[in-house]
Amino acid sequence: DGGITQSPKYLFRKEGQNVTLSCEQNLNHDAMYWYRQDPGQGLRLIYYSQIVNDFQKGDIAEGYSVSREKKESFPLTVTSAQKNPTAFYLCASSRISNQPQHFGDGTRLSIL
């Protein structure tokens, strides 16, 4: 059954700590994305990867980092530089850029 798996579902971060959110897809999609959603708000793009070993900053990349070493995986690290990390993080993929996106179930990140 193809899809996108995000883990963990809930995550708590301590002050000064980096945390990594996992995103894995078995849809054989080239493009992957990370979005941040704040309560009652739309989706804002953090990072985008069109292909393995390549990624581009989105609108709100500061305080975040990504890697794309494998086609299936696109982990997001929320660094201590991100001072307001509490949000719902959504990972998505599409066959190629500009095609409909499939989303994972998301990770809710909070500060302890």
Partner 1 sequence: GQQVMQIPQYQHVQEGEDFTTYCNSSTTLSNIQWYKQRPGGHPVFLIQLVKSGEVKKQKRLTFQFGEAKKNSSLHITATQTTDVGTYFCAGPKENAGNMLTFGGGTRLMVKP
What is the C-alpha to C-alpha distance for residues 101 and 42, in angstroms, rounded to an integer?
15
Number of Cβ within a 10 Å radius of residue 55: 20
Question: Which one, 1 or 15, has the nearer CB to partner 1?
Answer: 1
Question: Which one, 17 or 59, has the nearer CB to partner 1?
Answer: 59
Question: Which one, 37 or 65, has the nearer CB to partner 1?
Answer: 37
What b-and-e string marks burial along 62-88, b requiring 16 or more CB atoms within 10 Å of the CB?
eebbbebeebbebbbebeeebeebebe
Question: Which one, 58 or 63, has the nearer CB to partner 1?
Answer: 58
Query: Site residues (CB under 8 A) for partner 1?
Result: 31, 33, 35, 40-45, 48, 50, 56, 58, 90, 92, 97-98, 100-106
Residue 43 C-beta: closest distance to partner 1, Å: 4
Residue 7 C-beta: closest distance to partner 1, Å: 14
Contact call for residues 75 and 6 (beta carbons, < 8 A): no
Residue 70 C-beta: closest distance to partner 1, Å: 20
What is the C-alpha to C-alpha distance for residues 20 and 10, in angstroms, rounded to an integer?
12
